[in-house]
C-alpha cells in the first residue's frame, strides 16, 4: 500500500523520537549512581560530571533530528487530510526549531552557555494549537483535537509555575528536578501520541481509497 507511505514513515519517526529521548534519559540516569532526580536537572546527565554523558547527548541529538523530520511529516499529513498550508507550515516550523535546539544542546553539553539553545524546543508548545486549527474542519478528529487542547493547557500551566510567575515557592531547589521531568514528559510525549493518531488516520484513509 503506497498511498501516504512517505508521510506515514515520517510520522513513525515522530513516534520513535520521544521514546528514544525518554529512554536515553532513563539509561543515562541508571549509569550515574546517586543521581538525584529531585534536585538535579536532566541536562546534567550530559555534562562533565556524568559518568557516561554520550548516552544522553547522542540520544538527544538523534531525537532532535527525529523531531525535525517528524515536523515535516506532521505538516504533510495535515495537508493530506485537508488542513490549510499556513497551519501546516507553522507546525513544521515549531518542530524544526525544537529539533535545532535539541541538536545544538547535544553538541554543547551543560554547563556550556550554548546548551541553552535547548530553549528553542519550548516553541513546540505552539504546535498543538496550530494542529487544532489545522484539523478543525476534518471529520473524526474531535478526540485528537481535545487531547491537543488539553496538552496546550497543561504546558501553559507548567510554564507559568516553572518560570515562577505564580506560586513562586512551589518550584524550589528541593523539587525542581521533578517539575522539569513532568514538563519534559508532556512537552515531548504528546508528539508521539499525535503522530500515532495521524499515522493511523492516514492508513485508514489509504485503505478506504484502495477498497473504493
What is the model's pTM? 0.91
Pairwise CA distance, residues 77 & 87, whole Å = 11
Contacts of 165 (CB under 8 A, 6+ apart): none
pLDDT for 137 equals: 86
Mean pLDDT, all residues of the chain: 91
* Gap between the Cα atoms of 53 and 51, Å rounded: 6
Residue 38: what pLDDT? 94
Nearest residue to 66 (alpha-carbon basis) of 128, 106, 12, 26: 12
Question: Is residue 2 within 8 Å of 55, Cβ to Cβ?
Answer: no
pLDDT computed for residue 163 by the predictor: 84
| Per-residue DSSP letter, 2 | -
Q: What pLDDT, in 10s, does the model give residues 33-86?
A: 999 999 999 999 999 899 999 999 999 999 999 999 999 999 999 999 988 889
Residue with cell 515562577: 164
> In the predicted model, is pLDDT for residue 1 greater than 60?
no
Amino acid at each position: 500500500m503506497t498511498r501516504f507511505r512517505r508521510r506515514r514513515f515520517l510520522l513513525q519517526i515522530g513516534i520513535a523520537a520521544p521514546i528514544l529521548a525518554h529512554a536515553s534519559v532513563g539509561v543515562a540516569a541508571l549509569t550515574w549512581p546517586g543521581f538525584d532526580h529531585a534536585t538535579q536537572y536532566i541536562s546534567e546527565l550530559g555534562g562533565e560530571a556524568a559518568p557516561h554523558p554520550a548516552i544522553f547527548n547522542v540520544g538527544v541529538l538523534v531525537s532532535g533530528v527525529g523531531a525535525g523530520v517528524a515536523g515535516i511529516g506532521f505538516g504533510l499529513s495535515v495537508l493530506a487530510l485537508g488542513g490549510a498550508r499556513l497551519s501546516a507550515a507553522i507546525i513544521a516550523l515549531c518542530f524544526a526549531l525544537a529539533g535545532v535546539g535539541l541538536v545544538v544542546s547535544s553538541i554543547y553539553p551543560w554547563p556550556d552557555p550554548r546548551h541553552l539553545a535547548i530553549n528553542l524546543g519550548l516553541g513546540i508548545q505552539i504546535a498543538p494549537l496550530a494542529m487544532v486549527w489545522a484539523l478543525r474542519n476534518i471529520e473524526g478528529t474531535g478526540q485528537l483535537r481535545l487531547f491537543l487542547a488539553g496538552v496546550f493547557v497543561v504546558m501553559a500551566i507548567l510554564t507559568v509555575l516553572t518560570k515562577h510567575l505564580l506560586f513562586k515557592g512551589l518550584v524550589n531547589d528541593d523539587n525542581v528536578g521533578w517539575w522539569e521531568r513532568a514538563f519534559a514528559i508532556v512537552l515531548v510525549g504528546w508528539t508521539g501520541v499525535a503522530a500515532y493518531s495521524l499515522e493511523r488516520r492516514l492508513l485508514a484513509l489509504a485503505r478506504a481509497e484502495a477498497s473504493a
